[in-house]
Each structure stands twice: as structure tokens, then as C-alpha cells.
């Protein structure tokens, strides 16, 4: 028999058709669709405003690595025709303004409760309803949608002595809302993932000294960010219907680009180099799309990895620093490739020093220094760019109990198990947007968010029309999907890296490749077929 969590003992004070957890892009669009279906909904958001990841990740240099004209909602044509993105890659403040604009434009705020944490969700099998307990009380809901985001649970490693550090400590994923001024300060940045790679060049312009503590060198390609011209925006807008269709149906990662028709070893070296150079010059994530086997075959991957290693050696003047910056323990793309502005060139500045903490791990944080390899690096402020408990971390913080009182954390103790990343067997009427087992973080998130929200909305509409009380994944369907997700991942080079995709950045977390690599087009077709079958079965 399930025990009620302490916090769930209060009587529900209100009743909704749907509770949505999180007011990032997923929560905002979900609420908009629920309104359109005439359902009552309440969105709970722990942050002080809407925007999700873009509300929290406001570190210097934060911007999206998917181009603005594609990293935007497609569900409303007037919105996509009217919003003026200023740059090829939108900076964080502009994306946050966009999220706020969406909330206002569609009058969403009245159903969003900010500064409110969801603590538990408990399913009552007698009346098929969830009791959702928040930091502000309990409510009852027929359905719960987790729009909690994949990278929203910032992680601070346990560095010995960190609590004794006397300067300010910042985490990139939990950056203060007040301006942070590093002028004249010695700053230590720990980590060299996307957040660090975006922030280090900007911090280096202000700080008197930057020490970059690197455990794993990462592959990064230049963004070549620039202001968007009216002509560029107009070109997208005129063709949005077709371009969005291609993003959804034809592209693996939901980003419109040329689709390669050959593998890296099908071209002679000089042609290959020319093609890599063309992508390097145009910039951005599509670098990995030059050939169709870069994520599949080591020898093919090596050609792309060597091209980037050569670029690093060309850009970075000090040979030892260049050597340390050249990744050597994972295939390119098996950790998310980074997109930067002047990252490698920043190491030519006299005030920037790379510290190799793979050879000499951080021993201790002292009140005014970081100690590594028996040497003390004096710092006045610390920036932890140490990542997230990705994909499952935010869900795990909520005490979710389904049939028979089983907790989702118990069920996922050996790794997340979902059907399509959307539902988990034993947890009726509980939906996850861009959950583990779906393309999510391997795709343009907004493409995946819109697809999931529409899928959920279609199911709820169907249930409402026919008076169906519950919908839930079956164990056999889930087992089959989990096996498929693993099988597809094992056929690629991705599992070779100790990445957050694998849960490898969290000590003790089960190492399972979490996102679905099959691609958004293939996935969309599976999800649509499944939804039709589910609806037939629900009748």
C-alpha cells in the first residue's frame, strides 16, 4: 500500500483537467493547446518568470546554437511572420523576451503560477485523478504533463573546500539576475562544455585573469554569428510552410540543412577537406551533417575530428595549450558539439590560461585559490560550468507515485523507461514532453516540443470526446520501445563518450543512452502510428 508523502496530506483546494509542470517553451505551448481544447489547466513554475532554461541560463555569452529562424515556434503563422529575430543565433535575453511575448500574446499568464515548486504527484486509482502538491498547497488533476525540461537541474560537483571559498561562486545554469561584473577579477572557470565555451571568451574580455580548468577537451566549431538582414528574415518567412515541414519530417535533428548522400570515406582527402572547410566557414551545428556516416563509423568520424584538431593547432599559438585543447578521448559529436565565438583564439590572450585537470584533478578549493597538481591558482570568483543532471534530474526531484504506489524513481532506478519518451507504464494520464526515449536533446528542441504537445493534446481531445478515463503505456509496448532506443544507440558511436546523454556525468547514475537517435522524422512517424493505434484501443 502506498504511503502518502508528507507534503501530499493536505486536501486539494482546486481541481483541474490538467496540471502542467514548468513554464518554458514546452509548458507555454501545452497551455495554449489545452486552452484551445476548452480544458482547465494550471501551470506551476518554480522560476520567477516564464522561459525555462532561458530564464536560468543567463551566463555571459549565452545564446542558442540553433539558428533563430528555426529555433522558434511554428504553431502560429502570425507569430513567426511578425517576430523579428535580430541575429543569426539569438542571445539569451532576446529568447527570454520571445518567451515572455508568447506568454502575453496568447494571454497565458493567468493560468501560470510562478515561484511554485511541484513537490509530488500521487495517482489515486479509485477516482483516476492525480493529487499534485506544490510549495503552495495541493490540487487535483485528471492529467499531469511534465514540461520540466531536459537541462534544468544544474549540478555542482562536490569539490573539497568549495564551501570555504571566500569569493563569489556562480553556476552557469543558475546565473544571478543582477549583472555580474568580473572587471579586474581573477576568475576560475571549471568545465569546458557548451556553457563554458560560450562564456569564457566574454569573461576573458572583462577579467584580469581567467584560469580554465579542463577535464575533457571538447570539439567546437565557429558560430559565425551576425545580425540577420531583412532579406534573410523575409526569405525564411516566405518559405516557412515548406521549411517547417522539412524540419519536422525530413531532417534527423529538426534543423533544415542539406542532406548528405555519401559517407566520409567516399570522397578523396582533398574533396573531404574542402567540404569540411565549407561548413567550418559557414559555421554552426550542421558541421556534423557533411557526411551521412560521421556518427556511425569510427574511420569516417576520425576525418572530421582530425579536421577540427588541425584547426585548433592553427588557431592556438602555444603548442602545449593547443595539444591540450585537442579532444582525444571521444568521437566528434558523441558529446554535443559546441558552437563558439572565438573560443580557441581566446587562449592566445595573455590573461587566459588552460589548466589540465585530467592529469592533475582539482585537489581542493581554498578560500582564494583552486589547487590542482600541487599548485594554487589564485582566483577571486569561480564559475562552475559543470552541467546538469540531464533528462531525468528534474523529474526525479518530484515524488511521483503511480499505480500501486510505485514511485517513478524506483521504476527508473536502473535508467529511465518510457514508451516513446512520452509515457511510462504504471503512471496513467502522466505525460512527459521531450522525455528520455525521444529525440529531444538531439534535435531542435522546439520542433520536438511542438510535436509532443500536439500528440498529447490530440490524445486528450480524443479521451474527452469519448469519455475515456485513463490512458497509459503498456509494459510490453514500453519494453519494446526501450529495446529499440538502445539498439539504435548501440549501432552508433555515441555510447563511446562519457557524456550527459549517457548519464555519465553524475556519479552513481545508471549509464544508459537516454535520447532516441533515430531522428525526428522517423520518430514522428512512429509516434503518429502509435497514437492512431492507441486511440483505436481506447475506444
Give alpha helix (H) positions in 156-292: 194-206, 230-238, 240-249, 269-282
Residue range at the interface with ligand N01 (CB under 6 A); choices 4-12, 191-199, 280-288, 341-349: 191-199
336 sits near ligand N01 (criterion: CB under 6 A): yes
172 sits near ligand N01 (criterion: CB under 6 A): yes
Between residues 118 and 441, which has the closer beta carbon with respect to ligand N01?
A: 441
Between residues 175 and 182, which has the closer beta carbon with respect to ligand N01?
A: 175
**Distance in Å, CB of 155 to ligand N01, minimum:** 7
Classified as helix, coil or strand, 210 is strand
Give alpha helix (H) positions in 207-239: 230-238
What's the grid cell of residue 536? 483505436
Classified as helix, coil or strand, 371 is strand
68 sits near ligand N01 (criterion: CB under 6 A): no
Listed in sequence order, the residues at least 6 apart from 498 whose beta carbon sits closer than 8 Å to its beta carbon are: 216, 330, 504, 505
Of residues 64, 185, 322, 473, which one binds ligand N01 by CB under 6 A?
Answer: 64
Neighbouring CB atoms inside 10 A of 14's CB total 13
Phi, psi of 91 (to 5 degrees): -75, 155
- Round to whole Å and give the CA distance between 332 and 289: 12
Of residues 60, 193, 327, 428, which one binds ligand N01 by CB under 6 A?
Answer: 193
**Distance in Å, CB of 171 to ligand N01, minimum:** 9
Proportion of the chain in helix, strand, coil states, percent, rounded to 5? 40, 20, 45
Of residues 35, 117, 215, 237, which one binds ligand N01 by CB under 6 A?
Answer: 215
In terms of Cβ atoms closer than 10 Å to its own Cβ (0-12, 13-18, 19+), residue 9 is exposed
Q: Which helix H or strand E contains 20, and what residues bound it? A: strand 15-21
Of residues 91, 157, 415, 521, which one binds ligand N01 by CB under 6 A?
Answer: 157
Residue range at the interface with ligand N01 (CB under 6 A); choices 314-322, 381-389, 396-404, 517-525: 381-389
65 sits near ligand N01 (criterion: CB under 6 A): yes
**Distance in Å, CB of 78 to ligand N01, minimum:** 26
Q: C-alpha dihedral over 481, 484, 489, 490, to 10 degrees?
A: 140
Of residues 43, 196, 200, 288, which one binds ligand N01 by CB under 6 A?
Answer: 196
CB-closest chain residue to ligand N01: 193
What's the grid cell of residue 144? 499531469
**Distance in Å, CB of 340 to ligand N01, minimum:** 9
500 sits near ligand N01 (criterion: CB under 6 A): yes
What's the grid cell of residue 123? 495517482
Residue range at the interface with ligand N01 (CB under 6 A); choices 161-169, 201-209, 385-393, 451-459: 385-393
With vertex at residue 81, the alpha carbon angle to CA 80 and CA 85, rounded to the nearest 5 degrees, is: 70
**Distance in Å, CB of 159 to ligand N01, minimum:** 7
Of residues 121, 122, 185, 190, which one binds ligand N01 by CB under 6 A?
Answer: 190
Please answer whether residues 255 and 446 qualify as being in contact, where contact means their C-beta atoms are separated by less than 8 angstroms.
Answer: no
Between residues 61 and 518, which has the closer beta carbon with respect to ligand N01?
A: 61
**Distance in Å, CB of 533 to ligand N01, minimum:** 32
- Round to whole Å and give the CA distance between 235 and 107: 29
x-or-dash string of contact with ligand N01, 419-458, rule CB under 6 A: ----------------------x-----------------
357 sits near ligand N01 (criterion: CB under 6 A): yes
With CA atoms as reference, report the closest residue to 82 among 226, 232, 237: 237
Between residues 332 and 400, which has the closer beta carbon with respect to ligand N01?
A: 332
With vertex at residue 345, the alpha carbon angle to CA 343 and CA 348, rounded to the nearest 5 degrees, is: 125
**Distance in Å, CB of 212 to ligand N01, minimum:** 10
Please answer whether residues 267 and 278 qualify as being in contact, where contact means their C-beta atoms are separated by less than 8 angstroms.
Answer: no
- Round to whole Å and give the CA distance between 406 and 66: 38
**Distance in Å, CB of 339 to ligand N01, minimum:** 6
**Distance in Å, CB of 386 to ligand N01, minimum:** 4
**Distance in Å, CB of 134 to ligand N01, minimum:** 27
Residues in touch with ligand N01 (CB under 6 A):
64-65, 151, 157, 172-173, 190-196, 198, 215-216, 336, 357, 385-388, 441, 500, 505
Amino acid at each position: 500500500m502506498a504511503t502518502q508523502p508528507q507534503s501530499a496530506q493536505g486536501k486539494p483546494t482546486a481541481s483541474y483537467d490538467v496540471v502542467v509542470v514548468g513554464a518554458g517553451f514546452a509548458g507555454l505551448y501545452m497551455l495554449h493547446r489545452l486552452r484551445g481544447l476548452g480544458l482547465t489547466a494550471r501551470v506551476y513554475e518554480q522560476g520567477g518568470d516564464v522561459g525555462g532554461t532561458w530564464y536560468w541560463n543567463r551566463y555571459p555569452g549565452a545564446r542558442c546554437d540553433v539558428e533563430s529562424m528555426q529555433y522558434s515556434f511554428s504553431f502560429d503563422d502570425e507569430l513567426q511572420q511578425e517576430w523579428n529575430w535580430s541575429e543569426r543565433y539569438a542571445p539569451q535575453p532576446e529568447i527570454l523576451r520571445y518567451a515572455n511575448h508568447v506568454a502575453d500574446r496568447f494571454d497565458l499568464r493567468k493560468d501560470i503560477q510562478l515561484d511554485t515548486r511541484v513537490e509530488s504527484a500521487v495517482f489515486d486509482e479509485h477516482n483516476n485523478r492525480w493529487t499534485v502538491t506544490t510549495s503552495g498547497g495541493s490540487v487535483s488533476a485528471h492529467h499531469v504533463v511534465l514540461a520540466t525540461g531536459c537541462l534544468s537541474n544544474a549540478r555542482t560537483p562536490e569539490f573539497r573546500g568549495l564551501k570555504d571559498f571566500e569569493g563569489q561562486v556562480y553556476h552557469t545554469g543558475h546565473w544571478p539576475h543582477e549583472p555580474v561584473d568580473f572587471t579586474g577579477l581573477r576568475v576560475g572557470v571549471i568545465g569546458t562544455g557548451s556553457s563554458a565555451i560560450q562564456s569564457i571568451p566574454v569573461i576573458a574580455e572583462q577579467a584580469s585573469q581567467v584560469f580554465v580548468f579542463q577535464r575533457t577537451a571538447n570539439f567546437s566549431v565557429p558560430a559565425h554569428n551576425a545580425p540577420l538582414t531583412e532579406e534573410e528574415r523575409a526569405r525564411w518567412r516566405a518559405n516557412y510552410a515548406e521549411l517547417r515541414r522539412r524540419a519536422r519530417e525530413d531532417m534527423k535533428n529538426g534543423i533544415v540543412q542539406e542532406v548528405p548522400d555519401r559517407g566520409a570515406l567516399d570522397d578523396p582527402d582533398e574533396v573531404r577537406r574542402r567540404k569540411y572547410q565549407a561548413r567550418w566557414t559557414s559555421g554552426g551545428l550542421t558541421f556534423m551533417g557533411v557526411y551521412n556516416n560521421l556518427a556511425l563509423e569510427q574511420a569516417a568520424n576520425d576525418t572530421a575530428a582530425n579536421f577540427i584538431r588541425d584547426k585548433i593547432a592553427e588557431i592556438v599559438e602555444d603548442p602545449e595549450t593547443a595539444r591540450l585543447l585537442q579532444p582525444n578521448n571521444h568521437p566528434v559529436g558523441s558529446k554535443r558539439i559546441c558552437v563558439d565565438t572565438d573560443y580557441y583564439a581566446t587562449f592566445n590572450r595573455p590573461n587566459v590560461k588552460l589548466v589540465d585537470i585530467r592529469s592533475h584533478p582539482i585537489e581542493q578549493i581554498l578560500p582564494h585559490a583552486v589547487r590542482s597538481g600541487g599548485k594554487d591558482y589564485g582566483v577571486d570568483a569561480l564559475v562552475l560550468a559543470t552541467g546538469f543532471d540531464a533528462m531525468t534530474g528534474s523529474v526525479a526531484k518530484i515524488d511521483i507515485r503511480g499505480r500501486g504506489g510505485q514511485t517513478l524513481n524506483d521504476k527508473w532506478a536502473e535508467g529511465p523507461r518510457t514508451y516513446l519518451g512520452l509515457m511510462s507504464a504504471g503512471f496513467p494520464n502522466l505525460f512527459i514532453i521531450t522525455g528520455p526515449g525521444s529525440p529531444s536533446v538531439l534535435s531542435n528542441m522546439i520542433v520536438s516540443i511542438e510535436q509532443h504537445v500536439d500528440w498529447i493534446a490530440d490524445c486528450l481531445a480524443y479521451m474527452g470526446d469519448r469519455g475515456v478515463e485513463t490512458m497509459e503505456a503498456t509494459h510490453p509496448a514500453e519494453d519494446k520501445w526501450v529495446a529499440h532506443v538502445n539498439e539504435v544507440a548501440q549501432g552508433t558511436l555515441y555510447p563511446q563518450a562519457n557524456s550527459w546523454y549517457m548519464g555519465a556525468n553524475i556519479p552513481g547514475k545508471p549509464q544508459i543512452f537516454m535520447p532516441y537517435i533515430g531522428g525526428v522524422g522517423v520518430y514522428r512517424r512512429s509516434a503518429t502510428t502509435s497514437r492512431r493505434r492507441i486511440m483505436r484501443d481506447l475506444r
